[in-house]
């Protein structure tokens, strides 16, 4: 069964070191999932390309655009997620946060996620645990223990460069274990049948019957 990996990268320049890191992690995840005997389909989205859609949604009290709806569906349908942001003013970028603000509260329930960030200096490395991890935890995602932080020097040679590849590989192995174990290992009827994940984009076709909503009230 092919596993769907969605990669969200919030770099603003082109080429972007954030995108480089995203691709490196995605490649590592692909290798780890393949190594467990499963195929992987990687979809990478540049959040910069959704900046106007996100601003439109924010400026209209929540009216989504068709493009943004398509991305929201893809994210909730993924088996695993890699999210990468540059550090701006000691945190994730605005467009990165706007995307998560645009998600339904149930959009990431139980989603395995690798968090990653880039910055000009290693002194921002705690952004992963002070900003990204609480955000994803709030959204009830399952954040991998290993986050991947890359300062400019980590893209060079020597120990720093080798360590980055090691961190990406460790995070990828953690994510692959989650992604490959999704489904199949629970006894039917003993656990909730699904993740309860819902992009919130589509009107549900199944509704709670009104008698249940009405509870004990009668006519």
Name the residues that contact another protein, by CB under 8 A. Answer: 55-56, 58-61, 63-66, 202-205, 207-211, 213-219
Distances in whole angstroms, Cα of residue 73 to Cα of each of 77, 94, 179, 205: 6, 21, 18, 16
Which of 187/207 has CB closer to another protein?
207
Nearest residue (CB) to another protein, 24 versus 76: 76
Nearest distance from C-beta of residue 193 to another protein, angstroms: 19
CB of 54 to another protein, least distance (A): 11
User: Could you tell me the smallest distance in angstroms from the CB atom of residue 102 to another protein?
Assistant: 14
CA 184 from centroid of its chain's CA atoms? 22
C-alpha–C-alpha distance, residues 152 and 129, integer Å = 19
Kindly state the smallest distance separating residue 212's Cβ from another protein, in Å: 9
Can you read off the two tokens belonging to residue 145?
A: 């223990």
**E-strand stretches of the chain:** 3-9, 40-46, 80-86, 112-119, 142-143, 148-151
Nearer to another protein, 193 or 205 (CB): 205
Which CB sits closer to another protein, 189 or 215? 215
């Amino acid at each position: 069964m092919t596993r769907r990996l969605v990669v969200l990268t919030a770099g603003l320049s082109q080429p972007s070191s954030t995108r480089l890191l995203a691709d490196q992690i995605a490649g590592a995840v692909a290798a780890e999932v393949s190594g467990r005997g499963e195929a992987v389909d990687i979809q990478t989205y540049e959040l910069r390309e959704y900046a106007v859609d996100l601003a439109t949604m924010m400026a209209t009290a929540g009216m989504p655009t068709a493009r943004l709806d398509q991305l929201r569906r893809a994210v909730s349908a993924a088996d695993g997620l890699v999210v990468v942001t540059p550090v701006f003013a000691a945190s994730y970028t605005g467009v990165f946060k706007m995307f998560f603000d645009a998600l339904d509260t149930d959009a990431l329930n139980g989603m395995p996620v690798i968090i990653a960030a880039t910055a000009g200096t290693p002194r921002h490395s705690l952004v992963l645990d002070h900003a990204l991890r609480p955000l994803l935890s709030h959204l009830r995602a399952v954040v991998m223990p290993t986050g991947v932080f890359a300062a400019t020097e980590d893209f060079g040679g020597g120990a720093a460069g080798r360590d980055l590849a090691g961190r990406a590989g460790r995070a990828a192995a953690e994510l692959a274990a989650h992604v490959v174990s999704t489904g199949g290992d629970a006894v039917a009827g003993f656990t909730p049948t699904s993740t309860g994940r819902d992009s919130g984009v589509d009107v549900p076709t199944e509704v709670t019957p009104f008698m249940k909503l009405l509870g004990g009230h009668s006519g």
